[in-house]
Amino acid sequence: MDEFRGGCLCGAVRYRIEGPLRNVIACHCTQCRRQSGHFGAYTSVPLDRFSMEKEAALSWYRSSGSAQRGFCRVCGSNLFWKETGGADISVTAGTLDGPTGLSISEHIFCADKGDYYEISDGKPQKAQW
C-alpha cells in the first residue's frame, strides 16, 4: 500500500493519503480556471483513506450549492475540491509530494476552456463532465 503526502506552498496545510490514487483529471471549467489561474488537475481518493496532518490554515470556499474548495489562507494554494456529502475528496495533483507516478487520463469541461491554450496530449476531451 503506497502512502502519499502533500501540502500547500507555505507548509501550513499538510495531508496524507493511503494509495492507490486515481489518475489525474484535468478540469477546464470556469471555476477551476479562476481558482487555479489556469486549469484544475485533480486526483481523487475515498475519504477513509485521506487524513489531514496540518490544517490550521485550511479554509473552505463554497463555490456552488453542491461543492466546496479547500485552500490555504496563508499562501493561497488550491488544494481540495469536495462535493457536499460525497464519499471522495479531489486533491490537486500539483500539491502532492513527488514522484506521484500519475498521469492525466482525460480532460473535462473543455467547452469552457480558455482560448489561450490548446489541449494537445492526445487524451480524451469531454465537453462537459
CB of 32 to Zn ion, least distance (A): 3
Candidate residues 12, 67, 102, 119; the one interacting with Zn ion per rule CB under 5 A: 12
Among 11, 86, 73, 16, CA closest to 46? 86
Tell me: does residue 32 bind Zn ion (CB under 5 A): yes
CB of 109 to Zn ion, least distance (A): 6
Q: Could you tell me which residues come within 8 angstroms of residue 86 by beta carbon, excluding any fewer than 6 positions away?
A: none
- Of residues 53-112, which lie at the interface with Zn ion (CB under 5 A)? 72, 74-75
How many residues bind Zn ion (CB under 5 A)? The answer is 10
- Torsion from C-alpha of 115, 83, 7, 4, nearest 10 degrees: -110
Contacting range for Zn ion; rule: CB under 5 A; set: 31-39, 45-53, 82-90, 111-119:
31-39
Neighbours of 80 (CB within 10 A): 20
Rounded CA-CA distance 2/119 in Å is 30
Positions that interact with Zn ion (CB under 5 A): 8, 10, 12, 27, 29, 32, 40, 72, 74-75
